[in-house]
């Protein structure tokens, strides 16, 4: 009896190839988003690339079938890696604000984006549009803990409690005192700084 050669179903091959292509597109999109977040936390450069690579590997993005779950998991991994990296570089800068510092005056009474006169959508547009360089320069000038709190709250979408837990868990021994209230206070400082930046930019136009 002659040997019969078996061939794979071409429709299945096409479907598998399309699925692989779509997954690659998802991974590329997530990596690009993570790099943007990484540069806001740690600055431009090879360090941010390495943080993204670690986050993608840790979250096993390519093996995740749900793009939303892959995005959320990898974003958490990136935030952990970035906070750990920054704390290792300058542990003292992640000390929680003292009680006296928490009671200092601030130009805003709420820790919400809208209180600074800018919505979440407007901030996203600023970070991706013509104002991108100016906003990122402003971010780079903030103290490390202030920058991290602002990015975690305003960009990554963490609430005060989750932000405090991230700092306590990955910010080193100096960060043990972070609480949700300390995060709210620090975020208000960031919003005050952003408001001043926007007012200054408006006055120059």
At 76 the pLDDT is: 94
3-state secondary structure the chain: CCCCCCCCCHHHHHHHHHHHHHHHHHHHHHHHHHHHHHHHHHCCCHHHHHHHHHHHHHHCHHHCCCHHHHHHHHHHHHHHHHHHHHHHHCHHHHCCCCHHHHCCCCCCCCCCHHHHCCCHHHHHHHHHCCCHHHHHHHHHCCCHHHHHHHHHHHCCCCCHHHHHHHHHHHCCHHHCCCCHHHHHHHHHHHHHHHHHHHHHHHHHC
Dist CA 90 CA 43 (whole Å):
14
Q: At what angle do helices 180-204 and 132-140 cross, to 10 degrees?
A: 130
At 127 the pLDDT is: 72
Dist CA 21 CA 140 (whole Å):
36
Render pLDDT for 3-21 as a digit per residue (tens, 0 to 9). 444 434 445 546 767 766 7
At 144 the pLDDT is: 93
76 with 173: CB under 8 angstroms? no
Residue 47 CA from chain centroid, whole number: 15
In tens digits, what is the pLDDT along the chain, a chain of 205 residues?
444 444 344 455 467 677 667 767 877 888 899 999 999 999 888 999 999 999 988 877 766 677 788 888 999 999 999 999 999 999 999 999 886 555 445 554 555 655 555 666 777 777 777 777 888 888 999 999 999 999 999 889 899 999 999 999 999 999 999 999 999 999 988 888 887 776 655 555 5
At 99 the pLDDT is: 67
At 124 the pLDDT is: 72
Q: Indicate yes or no: pTM above 0.85.
A: no
At 69 the pLDDT is: 83
Q: Is 182 exposed, middle or buried (0-12, 13-18, 19+ CB in 10 A)?
A: buried
64 with 73: CB under 8 angstroms? yes
At 79 the pLDDT is: 96
114 with 123: CB under 8 angstroms? no
């Amino acid at each position: 009896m002659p040997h019969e050669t078996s061939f794979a179903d071409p429709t299945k091959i096409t479907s598998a190839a399309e699925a692989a292509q779509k997954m690659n597109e998802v991974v590329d999109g997530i990596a690009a988003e993570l790099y943007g977040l990484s540069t806001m936390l740690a600055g431009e450069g090879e360090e941010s690339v390495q943080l993204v690579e670690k986050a993608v590997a840790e979250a096993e993005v390519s093996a995740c079938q749900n793009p939303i779950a892959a995005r959320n998991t990898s974003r958490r991994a990136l935030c952990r890696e970035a906070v750990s990296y920054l704390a290792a570089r300058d542990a003292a800068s992640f000390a929680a604000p003292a009680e006296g510092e928490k009671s200092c005056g601030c130009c805003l009474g709420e820790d919400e984006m809208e209180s600074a006169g800018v919505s979440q959508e407007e901030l996203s547009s600023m970070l991706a549009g013509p104002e991108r360089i100016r906003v990122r320069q402003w971010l780079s000038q903030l103290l490390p803990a202030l920058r991290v709190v602002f990015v975690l709250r305003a960009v990554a979408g963490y609430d005060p409690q989750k932000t405090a837990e991230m700092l306590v868990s990955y910010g080193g021994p100096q960060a043990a005192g972070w609480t949700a209230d300390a995060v709210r206070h620090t975020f208000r400082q960031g919003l005050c700084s952003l408001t001043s930046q926007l007012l200054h930019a408006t006055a120059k136009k």
